[in-house]
């Protein structure tokens, strides 16, 4: 079995609807510029309150992706 090396980045996704939508928004956007996304970890969940109600959900994610072979020598 081949071993894997992952690069980890931190993202913040937001949504007015739900935590799940905030996660999906962050991963969708990351997928537009990052290749080989493999996993995510929810590090924080927070939100904004407006007039006593939740107005926006924010989720901090750690996202791991595998490196292309030519990228593995880069710092």
Residue 30 in any domain: the answer is yes
Count up the domains in the chain and report the number: 1
Kindly write down the DSSP assignment for every residue of 12-63, as one continuous string. EEEESS-HHHHHHHHHHHHHHH---EEEEEEEEEEEEEETTEEEEEEEEEEE
CATH number of the structural domain spanning residue 58: 3.30.1660.10
Task: Please give the pLDDT value at position 70.
Answer: 63
- pTM of the entire predicted model: 0.81
- Whole-angstrom distance, CA of residue 26 vs CA of residue 39: 13
pLDDT, tens only, 11-20: 999 999 999 9
Domain that holds residue 15: 6-66
pLDDT, tens only, 20-55: 999 999 999 999 999 999 999 999 999 999 999 999
First-to-last CA distance in the chain? 25
């Amino acid at each position: 079995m081949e071993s894997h090396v992952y690069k980890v980045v931190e993202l913040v996704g937001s949504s007015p609807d739900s935590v799940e939508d905030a996660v999906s928004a962050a991963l969708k956007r990351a997928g537009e510029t990052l290749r080989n996304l493999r996993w995510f970890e929810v590090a924080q969940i927070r939100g904004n309150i407006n007039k006593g109600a939740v107005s926006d959900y924010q989720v901090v994610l750690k996202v791991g992706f595998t490196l292309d072979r030519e990228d593995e020598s880069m710092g």
